[in-house]
Structure 1
Amino acid sequence: MAVHMSTIVSRKTVDILSHLSQLRPTLASHPLLYTISVSQHTDSTDLSQLVASLKSLSGSSIGCLSAPIPSARPSWQQYTAVSVASFDAKYATTFRSTIAGRKAAQVGRWHAMHQKEKQQDTQDYSQDIDWESALSRSYESDAVLPELRDLSDKDTDSILYLSDNAPEGLNSVLSRFSSASKLGLIATSTPFVTGRPYTLFYNDSIHSDGAVGICLSSGPCSSAWSEYPGLEAITRPMIVTNAEGNLVNALDNANPSRLLLHAIQNHPAVAASAEHISKDLQLYLGTLKQVGVSHQLDQLFYIMSGDPSRGSIALDTDTAPPEGSMVQFFLLPPTTKPDVLNEVLNQGTPQRSLAFASTSLDDLNAALPDVPDAEGPAGTMILHDTFVAASENGCIVSRATGGKSERPWKCSLPGSLMGLRWGV
């Protein structure tokens, strides 16, 4: 299935171009997935050379511009990183999507909508609405992806895609591949690099929106994996007892915002006001699944807002965990510094591994010292059998377990990794 994977991090564009040229005989006849992270040292000429070289590697390719890969070593984040993954042409099909998604989320949109409805009609019908079905229908359409029309649902193993920040329509169409794992990277924002909101590549074309992807059928199956470095649980597990839309209204029949505020105020590494939750804190609600006799973090949702007086917390998702779900509050301590490169290097798996990582806007905007790197030839590092790309916009995840894929959700935890592996 996976013919080749590698990630090269270097301050010298010539070193990256040399690496790519060596791969050309191997990759020429196979579909290619690639990303380019632009650093403070990557000028327009370097970028043009890299794009031209990558496009020439294969007649069928998809790619995007990505963010610097988070690292504890400032020198590595100053470098350009190029990741490439090539897949056997017998099992791989590339596609381009222009299917529309949703507009920017509105915090507490469901609460506001229901307040308006209650003013117009005193009878409450909310208990009779299947919110998950209602949300699913909102993206349904007759849209199809011509490239994937003839592919068998049951024979599709996984789908990888690179998208703008509205992939909901695409996710709805891809849901027919109900037993396939789907992993999407929301491309980095590039208005100050290329003049485009996002920069996506499909063969010889460049696009500012939509998505590009690759569908992998039959062949060796992939296995999903995830890492959440630095994340800390700050409460005991609880049960969702009331949820609506993107709001969680009750946990163990108690006020979720007050439970969260109490947990923060008792956390030794965090100072919080008694009246509100600081907007600077990175707080999450995670769902738990039972593995043997213990529970394991399954999905993770960023908490956009919370109001102790009303009780509800708003999550960065279309649909909050349903009632009956076991959940737990999590915090990424302010002192945590994402180190994705080190996490990848320490895995030491004998398999080919692809990972989409999340970074933070603060890390991208931080002024990095110009630190020389004495390790490796000319400061160049190559990760063999590994594809890793990052974005400050996070990634979309829908893993398959037991022949059924989960509802897509967004992972935006800085330093987190969501990935797939294939046997070498």
Structure 2
Amino acid sequence: MPGAHPPPALELTATVAERDFTASLSIAPGETVAVLGPNGAGKSTLLGLLAGLVRPTSGRAVLGADVLFDLPPAAPADGAEHTQDARLPAAGNRVSRGHSAPGAVGRRTWTPPHERGVTLLAQEALLFPHLTVRQNVEFGPRSRGASRAAARAAGERWLAEVDALSLAERRPAQLSGGQAQRIALARALASEPRLLLLDEPMAALDVHVRPALRRMLRDVLADRTAVIVTHDVLDALVLADRVIVIADGRIRADGPTRAVLERPTDPFTAELASLNLVTGTAVASRAAGREDAVVDAVELSDGRRLPVAARAAGPADAVTDAVELPDGRRLPVAPTALPPGARVGVAIPPAALRIVTDAKPAAPGQVDAIIRDLEPRGDLVRVRTDLLFVDLAPAVVADLDLLPDARIRLHYDPAAAVAYPLP
């Protein structure tokens, strides 16, 4: 139909009861989605569901026109609660595609991992040690029935894509960590997956190797439907069109990468993005309703006020902070106005903060705080207070004699404090 939009490449809704995991997401064709979250949040569970290594208690997933699984909730027997192991089912319990299982409500469909067109690239390269690099990359096409010539052509193509043709005749034991990971990626792509899953592909690499692999990934992931789990916000910014934040088995944030990471709505996302997140109530400097009214401060629950970048005040029903795309998704945008009294978040980069040492009364952009702890972070020390954190050189921390429970005064430029409505 003219003007119709193609369906999303992936639709998933699933619950894994024993892991207290529930998620619903949609991924468009050619979209790369980064998944962020703390350890144990459910990131690996999500990848396992897509790859077929974890079986949900109930749910449905569709990739293109193919059903990966469709498992309606099972009917409890004699009023007892029904539980199901989230691991891949044993042979005696496996539900084949298109067949119903005893006790199931409706048709239960399960596509085994090798028939999904989904490839999972793990943290470790896991190359076949007895095969050469070329043979490793050709393995995928050959296992799908490709001729020797076709598999050879695919191997040549993907080794060239990852800049590794010169390594073709080596064995895995002769490769560095970065080289092995590039070969693993070439092997994954040579199987022509419809969905590529990457589980922290750079976690096992040295820091100096990661930038080159990140650039290479950016090139090969272009226009490819992919999900990448990472703890590194730089990976998300460089590689992903969209970010999903998972915590406690639930999706907490979902949106365009920069919108999610530059305007966080929860403490974990703010920590990932290395931003201070403060929540409060928008305050107008002039009476609401006047044309020249502006919101230029946020009042905290304890009565303190933080100056923020000035924004025109406007009624709640006139503020636009998202636009709806033709496919129904909502794209967050920076609102042009803020309603006084609205609940807002304020994002302040730690680099915008400094410690004031004079004893003069607090001026605009200054706030009194109490140090809670000091945390080494590489070459810097993160000084956390009851309100904001600031990153300082160790010498500065020593010179200022900063200790827990000490009272300090922080200063920042209000223009660096961005306020935005919270959902």
Normalised by the shorter chain, which TM-score bucket?
under 0.3
Instruction: Compare CA radii of gyration and give the structure with the larger one.
Output: 2
Q: Per chain length, whose mean CA-contact separation is higher, i.e. which structure has more relative contact order (CA < 8 Å, sep 6+)?
A: 1
- Greater helix fraction, Structure 1 or Structure 2: 2
Give TM-score, length-normalised by structure 2.
0.26
